[in-house]
Each structure stands twice: as C-alpha cells, then as structure tokens.
Amino acid sequence: MADEPTLSNLSTETRSFPPSAEFAAQANATEEWYARAEADREAFWAEQAERLHWNQKWEKVLDWQPPFAKWFVGGKLNVAYNCVDRHVEAGYGDQVAFHWEGEPGDTRTITYADLKREVCKTANALASLGVKAGDRVAIQLPMIPEAVFSMLACARLGAMHSVVFGGFSASALKARIEDAECKLLITSDGQFRRGKPAPMKENADQAVEGTTIEHVLVVKRTEADVPWTEGRDIWWHDLVDKQSDEHTPEAFDSEHPLFILYTSGTTGKPKGILHTSGGYLTQAAYTHHVVFDHKPGESVYWCTADIGWVTGHSYIVYGPLANRATSVMYEGTPNTPHEGRHWEIVQKYGVTIYYTAPTLIRTFMKWGSDIPAKYDLSSLRVLGSVGEPINPEAWMWYREHVGRNNCPIVDTWWQTETGAIMISPLPGVTVAKPGSAMRPLPGISAEVVNDDGKPVGKGNGGYLVLDKPWPSMLRGIWGDEQRYRETYWSRFAEQGYYFAGDGAKYDEDGAIWLLGRVDDVMNVSGHRISTTEVESALVSHPAVAEAAVVGASDPTTGQGIVAFVILRGNVARDEASGTEMIKELRDHVAKEIGPIAKPRQIMVVEELPKTRSGKIMRRLLRDVAENREIGDVTTLADSTVMDLIAKGLKEGT
C-alpha cells in the first residue's frame, strides 16, 4: 500500500482551480462587487434589499447598537408575499416552484400559482385557529410540501415558526415548545424513512402534554392509524382544504420576528436563535443569487438539507423562493431504494445546482464512484458544500465524480446564527482551493484573531470572528438576552467582535481555511491541532472511508488524539491486518502533519454518531475515548450507533 498515491491534507494542499472563461462571462457576480461593497457597505446592502418588494421603504439602512442591530429601519414588507405572490403577479404562476419527490416514488409538481393557493389556504386555516402576528407555531414535519406551506403561512400572518427536526424525540420537541410557548403544533401521522413508514403523531402527543399547545394540526402522509384527542387534534385535509385560497398579506416591520430555530450550544439547553424579516430575506436572497449563480426560470436547484436545519430554512425556502427558483425537494434517505437515488433525481429533473454536506459526499465516496458514473449528470453547473469543513480529498472526489471536473464548487461557511452564507467562493470569480471557504462575501467582513483579539495575519491560525454587523445576523436568543451577550459577544467584548466558535487560518495567500469548532481544537503538549486536520490526514489514506477525531484528556500531554475510523469495503479485516493497519495509519498521520499529530489510539468502527444534520457528535466519542459513561444521545440521527461502537470495542479488546 505504501506506493499508492496519497492525497494531500489541509496543511499541504496547494492545488487551485480558476473559473473557466465561459462560466466567468455569464456569472451573476464579478470581482468588482468586493470593492463596491467595501467602499460603502450600507449602500451595497441597500442595493441588495432592492431584490425585495417593500410596501414601505426603509428610512435608515442600519441602526447598530452593539450587540443589537436593526436593518432597513422603518421598512415594511411581507416575507411570504415576496416569496410567492409577487412572482405570480409578474406572470410566472406556471413556473414550477417545487418538483417534489417522495421517498416511495410518488411525486408532486407545485407551480408558483399552486404555492400561492396552498399558502393562502394554510394561512386562513391557521388564522381560524387563532394564530396571529407574534404567536409561535411549532412545526415537526417530514420533507413534504406542507412543511413549506406551513412556514410561509406563518410568515404571511407574522407568526414565528419554530421548526423541529422530524427525527427529534418527544422530549426534545417538548423542550422547544415550552421554551417558545408555542400555541399550535403542525405534524403528520408519520414519515417515510429508509423505505418504511415511521410514526410521528405519537411523538407529538407526548410532547404537547401539559404545554401551551392548543391544537395539533396533522398532515396525512403514511396513512398510519394514529391516537386522536378530540377537540385538540385536527386533520390538515379537514381544515385546510375547505379554506379560501385568497388571503391578503399584511406588511410587517422589517424587524418583525420571522422564526426561531433551536441549535445546540456548549450547555445542554438548546438556544432558540431568533431571526427577523427584512435583513434576513435580503441576505438569503442575495447569497442564493451570487453563491449559486442562480438564474430564475433556467436553473433547477436542489438543496438536500432537511427543513429542520437552518440550511433548509434559508436555502430550500426563503432564499430560493425570493429568487423565483425552481427547486427539487426530496423526502427520503439517499440510499432508498438504491445508492444512486440522488443521481437518478439529478438526471430526471436536470438539476443544475446541487448543494449538500461533506458527510454525504464522503458517504458517496464510500459507496463508490461507479454509482454516479451510471447517470447523466451533465446538467450540473454548480456544486455546493455546507455544514462542516470539507476535506480536500472529498472536495476532489466531488469535483471529479459529480462535477465531471467542470463545475465550480462553493464551500459555504455560515451558521444558524448568521442566517445566511458568510464566507464562500463566488463561482466564476474565485480561484478555488480544495477545502477552503476562501473569502468573506461582498458586504461581509470577517477576521481571524488570536487570544487577544489581534488579527493573526497570513499563514497563521486563530479564532474566526465577524467584525461588522450583517443583515441576516441573529437578533438574539429567545428569552435569554444574557446568554446572547455571553455566548457571542463576551469573548472579544473589547473589540466588539462576534465570536463564531470556529477555528480558522489564513494561508499564505490570505484564503480562509475553517478548522472546526474551537471546542474541537485539541491541545497536545502545547501544540494546537485541529480535529479536522487529523481527520483529513486519515481520510487521505486509501484504506479509510471516514474518520472522526477527538482530544481525550491525557496525564502527560494535556490531550491525546483518539481517532475513530471506518475502513473502506475492500480492506481486509482479520486481526493481523487490523494491527498492521492501525500502525500504518498512525504513521500516515505522522507523515502528513507531523509526529505530534500521531493519534494515541485508533479505533476501527462500523458507524459514527451523527446528528440529523450530519455533524459528528464528538462529545459522545470523547466519552468513549475517556472511558466515561456515554452522555445524552437524544439528538443523534440513529441512537443505536453508540451501542454498536461500545459493543464493537468490547469485542475488540
């Protein structure tokens, strides 16, 4: 194996890919945008806000009283009108808004005219249940069109939605309902996952018990028998179908709350991130336009995220619809009924823009490049990545086997808190490097600073901060101003920087490389080593399919590096080759990064614990690595994975 080529890792990556002249000639953005935004940031954002329809124009672009921002002050708009009605009024009622593909193979085509009717009916139904501006509505739904109708109906009424992942437990749902004091829950009888119907309504029943929920609105999806509470529970088809399909939208203040979305923090209690209307929609629309080079009426756009994640909010619902996109929405898992399902969908609808997460790209790699090779992917023009740092090898694989070496890749860094994309290459403009998010978008300002908040400069690493306010920034943590100040604004209070919680470094050219959460940065004998760097090195070995690395406390070195690896299907697994392989992998990491990065321990596993959004839960792996009892597993996509790992390790010893 020693003479097989190894792909480089983050530290040694030097490849770069300039845009083709052909792509550059037709790109939505140009290099000039950076300078224009830099010259007058507020004027630049005002220009972007013109993408929207305002019932009343703003008086002031920005009112910044750190850490509280107001954008487009005095402006009034309706977010749902911007995403739906105005396109119908402009004559695009027949354009497809969603090609929806159910997991079992059923499909629905929803035009903008259909979407308008459905959103109006849903808004009327919600109003009939007493939902009004300022109320909170919890939504736990599978990836079905009713999820979009529900979100837009809330926006239309000025009510806030709080979307909760379909896979979250009853207790997770309950905690979120209680925190936001929601009035209504919208859910379904069940959902299709991996070819089988799974129940949902039972979960909802447990969750709403003893809360402020007055009604549960239930969409029929799997036709499963469900428990029913008369008076409280209402079938969607009974209530929504009989409503008028006309509804006059009201214009709300630019700073009117749009939604709450919960995300995990360093403590056990999830944070309810609050977003508002005008600034959020402006940045969602602007970024979707420039980062994906979206052409209304021509592009076929597919973001594979779940609606319960911020990516689903900004890049399935608000950004694309504000830009009159034609989108694909897919209900199920990527290997149901076969591992080529995504490529089959790309081929079927002629998808031109595909936006997914590195964890899925690595899964596709594991399944093999012969699978995408069976399909016609020639419609693809732009590929996107989001959610975690993408290792150069996965980037290269994506480029070659999905993009046929012909599509710009946009590695988009952002967070639930930032609301929309912040750091990303621009297709047709940026010379991209595999694994780098490159540069803040025009209008956005970021820095990498040291412990004292001083910029580290080219070639160095530190903490990623946002040093200027941006339109789609969070407006707070629901009901907890103190936590908002502490979590994001206290670390660099003196400088007034937003602390993102991510490590990053500048390369010699000044491009930004994200290094993972700072809480995932290990300190080994005083050396700062990113879990991502070690993972990237491991994955660059031909025998490794996936890797997760944690820092486990170590009496001599502070922290020791512990790696969990999934081997590729063709690697021999008997004991002798296992021991040999582990030695080889340790040496490989030492060779790629340096002896200091050599993992103390490497454990071969079959699965890694991941959240529904694909993030590896290193906290749980740290529990294993430090021989502790395993902590809370409720946010795992599959809670049995930890049992498998624990069992595998016991058998291995």
Judge whether 135 is annotated as a binding position.
Answer: no
Q: Nearest to residue 71, comparing CAs of 468, 494, 486?
A: 468
Residue 509 CB, shortest distance to ligand 6R9, in Å, is 18
Cis upstream peptide for 337 (omega within 30°): yes
Residue 432 CB, shortest distance to ligand 6R9, in Å, is 12
Q: Tell me whether residue 411 or residue 623 sits nearer to ligand 6R9 (CB atom).
A: 411
Cα end-to-end span (Å), the chain: 26
Judge whether 415 is annotated as a binding position.
Answer: yes
Q: Tell me whether residue 254 or residue 472 sits nearer to ligand 6R9 (CB atom).
A: 472
Judge whether 387 is annotated as a binding position.
Answer: yes
Q: Nearest to residue 34, comparing CAs of 414, 424, 443?
A: 443
Query: Residue 385 gets which letter from DSSP?
Result: E
Q: Tell me whether residue 293 or residue 411 sits nearer to ligand 6R9 (CB atom).
A: 411
Q: Tell me whether residue 111 or residue 532 sits nearer to ligand 6R9 (CB atom).
A: 532
Q: Tell me whether residue 110 or residue 637 sits nearer to ligand 6R9 (CB atom).
A: 637
Cβ burial of 350 (10 Å; 0-12, 13-18, 19+) is middle
Residue 538 CB, shortest distance to ligand 6R9, in Å, is 17
- Token pair, residue 417, equals 């808190």
Q: Specify the residue for token string 């900004």.
A: 314
Judge whether 414 is annotated as a binding position.
Answer: yes
Judge whether 607 is annotated as a binding position.
Answer: no
d(CA 582, CA 573): 11
Residue 269 CB, shortest distance to ligand 6R9, in Å, is 16
Q: Tell me whether residue 179 or residue 205 sits nearer to ligand 6R9 (CB atom).
A: 179
- Token pair, residue 276, equals 């508002």
Residue 520 CB, shortest distance to ligand 6R9, in Å, is 8
Residue 463 CB, shortest distance to ligand 6R9, in Å, is 11
One-letter amino acid for residue 310 of the chain: V
- Token pair, residue 223, equals 């036709």
Residue 73 CB, shortest distance to ligand 6R9, in Å, is 27
Residue 545 CB, shortest distance to ligand 6R9, in Å, is 20
Q: Tell me whether residue 372 or residue 503 sits nearer to ligand 6R9 (CB atom).
A: 503
Residue 410 CB, shortest distance to ligand 6R9, in Å, is 9
- For residue 446, CA distances in Å to 42, 314, 437, 634 come to 16, 21, 12, 34
What secondary structure does DSSP assign to 255-307, as a single string? TSEEEEEEE--SSSSPEEEEEESHHHHHHHHHHHHHHTT--TTT-EEEE---T
Residue 434 CB, shortest distance to ligand 6R9, in Å, is 13
Judge whether 114 is annotated as a binding position.
Answer: no
Q: Specify the residue for token string 């780098």.
A: 436
Q: Nearest to residue 155, comparing CAs of 93, 216, 77, 233?
A: 77
One-letter amino acid for residue 369 of the chain: S
Contact 593, 528 (CB under 8 A): no
Contact set with ligand 6R9 (CB under 6 A): 263, 310-311, 386-389, 411-416, 437, 500-502, 514, 517, 613
Residue 216 CB, shortest distance to ligand 6R9, in Å, is 27
Q: Is 481 helix (H, G, I), strand (E, B) or coil?
A: helix
The answer to whether the Cα torsion of 513, 514, 518, 519 is positive or negative is negative
Judge whether 416 is annotated as a binding position.
Answer: yes
Judge whether 480 is annotated as a binding position.
Answer: no
Rg for the chain, CA atoms, rounded? 24
Judge whether 413 is annotated as a binding position.
Answer: yes
Contact 187, 226 (CB under 8 A): no
Judge whether 16 is annotated as a binding position.
Answer: no
Judge whether 188 is annotated as a binding position.
Answer: no
The answer to whether the Cα torsion of 126, 131, 135, 136 is positive or negative is negative
Q: Nearest to residue 546, comparing CAs of 373, 417, 358?
A: 358
Judge whether 574 is annotated as a binding position.
Answer: no
Judge whether 156 is annotated as a binding position.
Answer: no
Q: Tell me whether residue 263 or residue 333 sits nearer to ligand 6R9 (CB atom).
A: 263
Tally of residues, the chain: 653
HSE-CB for 426 with a 13 A CA cutoff: 21
Residue 500 CB, shortest distance to ligand 6R9, in Å, is 6
Judge whether 246 is annotated as a binding position.
Answer: no
Q: Tell me whether residue 226 or residue 549 sits nearer to ligand 6R9 (CB atom).
A: 549
- CA 561, distance to chain mean position in Å, is 27
d(CA 63, CA 152): 27
- Token pair, residue 366, equals 């594991």
Q: Tell me whether residue 411 or residue 592 sits nearer to ligand 6R9 (CB atom).
A: 411
- For residue 418, CA distances in Å to 70, 190, 231, 405 come to 14, 32, 40, 31
Judge whether 196 is annotated as a binding position.
Answer: yes
Q: Tell me whether residue 305 or residue 321 sits nearer to ligand 6R9 (CB atom).
A: 305
Q: Tell me whether residue 153 or residue 409 sits nearer to ligand 6R9 (CB atom).
A: 409
Residues forming the annotated binding site for ATP?
Answer: 387-389, 411-416, 502, 517, 528
Residues forming the annotated binding site for CoA?
Answer: 193-196, 311, 335, 525
Residues forming the annotated binding site for Mg(2+)?
Answer: 539, 541, 544
Residues forming the annotated binding site?
Answer: 193-196, 311, 335, 387-389, 411-416, 502, 517, 525, 528, 539, 541, 544
